[in-house]
Structure 1
Amino acid sequence: MFHFDNSYSRLPEKFFASVYPEPVEGPKLLKFNEKLASELGIEVDLSDPDRLAATLAGNVVPQGASPLAMAYAGHQFGNFVPQLGDGRAILLGEVVDQKGLRRDIQWKGAGPTPFSRRGDGRAALGPVLREYIVSEAMHALGIPATRALAAVATGEQVYREMPEQGAVFVRVAASHVRVGTFQFFAARGDTEGVKTLADYVIDRHYPQLKSAENPYAALLRAIAFAQAALIARWLGIGFVHGVMNTDNMTISGETIDFGPCAFLDEYHQMKVFSSIDQGGRYAYRNQPGIGQWNIARLAECLLPLIDEDQDKAVEAANAVLGEFGERFQAEWIAVFRAKLGLVTQGEGDGELVQELMSIMQQQEADFTLVFRALANAAEGDDERFLGEFSEPEKPAEWLASWRNKLAAEPDAAAARPAAIRAVNPAIIPRNHRIQEAISAANYGDLSFFERLLEALEKPYEERPDFSDLMTPPTPEERVTRTFCGT
């Protein structure tokens, strides 16, 4: 079924704890991503769903697997925890997909590990379905993210604030190495461990850096640039990760862990959804700064490798941190210039974006629908755009400024509406719709979950059958708080 080639398990034992999943009572397959399985070269016998469910839930460990829980540390809301690790996740193993890319396959919710910290190692149905929906939506939106291979009910209950149905999520990632993985060894003064990990990451993710003059400074820069690009793209779709701890930032540049995440409905730059983010540390606007802060923590780990002279190492690391800011600004303006339908770079582009977003915030306009409606305005129909605002005078003035910008790009006029629609989604996984899918699933009805997934497969298309899923929530439907599920 799986063709494993497990490189992480060949690292020294201090990198992980070997652990097998704890069997569950009644595994039942809820959703299996056949297309992704094919991409991964996984051979599946769909005629025996019970055996497939047993394997995906962890009751049956497939041949060639090398189950382990990864060790890592992390800053959680700014506070350093020297040992975290996979407390409810088990890395099943690695496969090389049809494109020759190495991919991790991981169980989430398959039972306790040595890093569970008195937790049960289990997952509830709601967070599993949320991660399935959001990770696949992010992929369809073109945002680097971990993927969903399967969701399996366990037939058992888990206990959070109240009893909930248990489930296992099967996740696929380029790897699960995080900033916190480096911090685990750096916190112990284990420079050899940091170097072993850095060499592994270069081999696996950035092999082009092997010939660099200073491979470890180049590694820091490559990871910083990957994160700068990723966060810019998050902002472009109104995504709020919700818990950007250093143990939730991948070295590969993929979005990982969709616990208290959410997408903006009405725009506000300081919007927070996570129930545990009381101070707004991970608010929409703060995500670039937190990304840079996390890269600074990675830089601290890599200093001994960058240069034996600490002053020179710090100077090189600070240069990368400065480059992060510059790179993010370039990525951000490129994302939003495309959202406005601007082809060429010009003075005042950033100001034009900020002016629109200021009006959106003042009038609580819907982030997704405002940018989508610019395609109609590019066709000469302003009604849809202006209809997204409670007071149309300022948006109308903004449209005039926007059109002055567009006048400098006459050759792009014919293609502009399609170009705008290609980068501004018609549909996103809105919080209230995700909750609707979870609520129905808790009563055994997966039909809305399936319908939502189908709609999100083509987020840049307006399909009449899914028009109800494109509308923002009514005031009473709004979901203002999300939870991590642990």
Structure 2
Amino acid sequence: MNTERIRQPFIEKFPGDLSNNPMQRNTPGVLFATIKPAGFDQPELIAFNEKLSEEIGLGRYEDKDLGFLVGNNLPDNVQTYATAYAGHQFGNWAGQLGDGRAILAGEIINEVGKKTEIQWKGAGATPYSRHADGRAVLRSSVREYLMSEAMYHLGVPTTRALSLAFTGEEVIRDIMYNGNPQLEKGAVVIRTAESFLRFGHFELMSAQKEYKTLQQLTDVAIENYFPEITSSGSQRYRDFFENVCMRTANLMTEWFRVGFVHGVMNTDNMSVLGLTIDYGPYSMMDEYDLNFTPNTTDLPGRRYAFGKQGQISQWNLWQLANALYPLIKDEKFLEDTLNHYGTYFWEAHDQMLCNKFGLDKLLKEDESFFTGWQGLMQELQLDYTLFFNRLENLAPEMDLKEHFKDVSYSVLDEEKTEKLQHFVTTYQARLSLNTISREESLDLMRKTNPKFILRNYLLYQCIEEIGNGNKEMLEKLNSALQNPYEELYPEFSVKRPSDYDNTTGCSTLSCSS
């Protein structure tokens, strides 16, 4: 790996070197603190993303690179740092937050000029750790490494994972916050993104009335990540907000397409670039349920449930609008933009559903069709991914009960089968209104509906195996997630086994997960 190519994109632009006193505390007036990773004496590589490394310009892995992957033996050109941000957590203002267990190495620019930020997660405490240890455990690290790559190959905007390694330490965690802490194996992930800038970075500067730094930060974001914005003055910042809204709406649509539930959509977990960021108590959808949340911390309110993700993203954008108001100073514009967000999102959402059903265009009557389908899915407890896979292979002569029985988490009795038959009849009538051929319709479905999703029970099995020294399932899952629209491993294309219905760390997750 060529780590000599790493440079620091923000350190020269913003004040804030706190390396002489890296204790946890508030840091008003600054956006970052220089901080060294903790360092680990007995690291062990678990996985390395060779393709990504080549793509971003780091090159091939060599044994001597293991130290860098856990934050040891850093080159002289690398000045590591953590950033400060704020946020609304579960709807409440949380004040200053920051990179509590993430430390940035800097930025890589590859041969074609593409910029990528490199960040350790789990490499030690920072001034923003809020009295935590800054470490990460194996289970959360495996979940982030695999799911971020799974989302990338599904075509969902996301951060990505470069490496996964044991630290050689044991870390104490209370997985369900119920007074039962246990020692777990420590691990470090290196994750990458075009940028890790969050809504919370802008919220912090605005809340502290650091308007000059807020403007600098927004200018840097526009110059580096929004080349489509060429305007000046306050229009420049209006265009920035509109772009963030569009990217966020598109991201939410993609989450709905593949059945991803983030679990903790706080404003500090929202990327201004429209990336999926911070993989904690997430889940891919098994049985379809608009009210499903994988996060035990989100109960009983279910603020971040699957069906609310569009609504919550708009609420989060309201908070970003408040933060950017000192630059935009146009309340009506912000209100109009946020009101339009809902319209744009639902249009994109419904067009996405058209693609999943193989419909060539959205018709006025499709709203009732989609509503009826949602009711059927929830009542029959049908698996979201497998349902569409079966729909692709549906033929007139098929026995519906037999065709869909392995897709339902409930028993398909006579009454439920009749309801399924009614839906299929309605669907076939809707297909007849297409102006494209059936083969073109199927092609649209195949491109939109994955055959493989990284379910929580598969992750749970994989984490158990890695903990026992076996990487076979890790390698198999890594192969499957790189080809999610093909059925390479039929054993993975099944509904969640009932054995995992109430398994801690699988069906029930916390922010510690």
Q: TM-score, normalised by structure 1?
A: 0.95
- What SS does structure 2 have at the residue aligned with 1:145? coil
- What SS does structure 2 have at the residue aligned with 1:80? strand
Q: Is the 8 A contact 2:135 2:186 kept in 1?
A: yes
Displacement of 1:99: 4.5
Q: Aligned pair 1:128/2:130, yes or no?
A: no
Q: Aligned pair 1:200/2:239, yes or no?
A: no
Match of 1:159 in 2: 172
Tell me how far apart the structure 1 counterparts of residues 417 and 481 of structure 2 sit (CA, whole Å). 31
- What SS does structure 2 have at the residue aligned with 1:156? strand
| CA separation of 1:320 and 1:410: change in aligned 2, threshold 3 A | closer
Q: Which stretch of structure 1 is more off in the superposition, 11-20 or 251-260?
A: 11-20
How do residues 315-394 of structure 1 correspond to structure 2 at under 5 angstroms? 315-377=332-394, 383=400, 386-387=404-405, 388-389=407-408, 390=412, 391-394=416-419
Q: Is the 8 A contact 2:350 2:362 kept in 1?
A: no
- What SS does structure 2 have at the residue aligned with 1:177? coil
Match of 1:290 in 2: 312
Q: Is the 8 A contact 1:265 1:368 kept in 2?
A: yes
Tell me how far apart the structure 2 counterparts of residues 385 and 207 of structure 1 sit (CA, whole Å). 49
Q: Aligned pair 1:142/2:162, yes or no?
A: no
Tell me how far apart the structure 1 counterparts of residues 116 and 382 of structure 2 sit (CA, whole Å). 40
Q: Is the 8 A contact 2:500 2:507 kept in 1?
A: no
- What SS does structure 2 have at the residue aligned with 1:69? strand
Q: Aligned pair 1:484/2:484, yes or no?
A: no
| CA separation of 1:379 and 1:110: change in aligned 2, threshold 3 A | farther
Matched letter for residue 31 of structure 2: F
- What SS does structure 2 have at the residue aligned with 1:369? helix
- What SS does structure 1 have at the residue aligned with 2:457? helix
Q: Which stretch of structure 1 is more off in the superposition, 92-101 or 115-124?
A: 92-101
Instruction: Please give the per-residue CA displacement for 1:277-305, whole angstroms capped at 9, x wherever unaligned.
Output: 12211000111111001100000011111
Aligned residues: 476
User: Gapped runs of 5+ residues in structure 2?
Assistant: 16-29, 174-180
Tell me how far apart the structure 1 counterparts of residues 229 and 260 of structure 2 sit (CA, whole Å). 31
Q: Which stretch of structure 1 is more off in the superposition, 62-71 or 128-137?
A: 62-71
| CA separation of 1:376 and 1:45: change in aligned 2, threshold 3 A | closer
Match of 1:76 in 2: 89
Match of 2:47 in 1: 31
Match of 1:245 in 2: 266
Instruction: Please give the per-residue CA displacement for 1:106-148, whole angstroms capped at 9, x wherever unaligned.
Output: 0001111111111111100110000011101001100000001
- What SS does structure 2 have at the residue aligned with 1:21? coil
Tell me how far apart the structure 2 counterparts of residues 452 and 182 of structure 1 sit (CA, whole Å). 37
Instruction: Please give the per-residue CA displacement for 1:58-111, whole angstroms capped at 9, x wherever unaligned.
Output: 012134322110110111111212211111110111112354321110000111
User: Gapped runs of 5+ residues in structure 1?
Assistant: 308-312
Tell me how far apart the structure 2 counterparts of residues 378 and 418 of structure 1 sit (CA, whole Å). 16
Tell me how far apart the structure 2 counterparts of residues 216 and 483 of structure 1 sit (CA, whole Å). 37
Instruction: Please give the per-residue CA displacement for 1:169-219, whole angstroms capped at 9, x wherever unaligned.
Output: 000011111000001111111111211111111111112213267111111
Tell me how far apart the structure 2 counterparts of residues 96 and 398 of structure 1 sit (CA, whole Å). 52
Q: Aligned pair 1:182/2:202, yes or no?
A: yes
Q: Which runs of 4+ in 1 moved over 6 A?
A: none
Matched letter for residue 12 of structure 1: F
Matched letter for residue 232 of structure 1: T
Q: Aligned pair 1:435/2:460, yes or no?
A: yes
Match of 1:467 in 2: 490
| CA separation of 1:99 and 1:374: change in aligned 2, threshold 3 A | farther
Match of 1:310 in 2: none
Q: Percent same amino acid at aligned positions? A: 35
Tell me how far apart the structure 2 counterparts of residues 301 and 42 of structure 1 sit (CA, whole Å). 36
Displacement of 1:378: 6.7
Tell me how far apart the structure 1 counterparts of residues 109 and 157 of structure 2 sit (CA, whole Å). 18
Tell me how far apart the structure 2 counterparts of residues 421 and 45 of structure 1 sit (CA, whole Å). 35
Match of 2:449 in 1: 424
- What SS does structure 1 have at the residue aligned with 2:230? helix
Tell me how far apart the structure 2 counterparts of residues 246 and 445 of structure 1 sit (CA, whole Å). 37
Q: Is the 8 A contact 1:378 1:416 kept in 2?
A: no
Matched letter for residue 303 of structure 1: Y
Q: TM-score, normalised by structure 2?
A: 0.90
Q: Is the 8 A contact 2:48 2:163 kept in 1?
A: yes
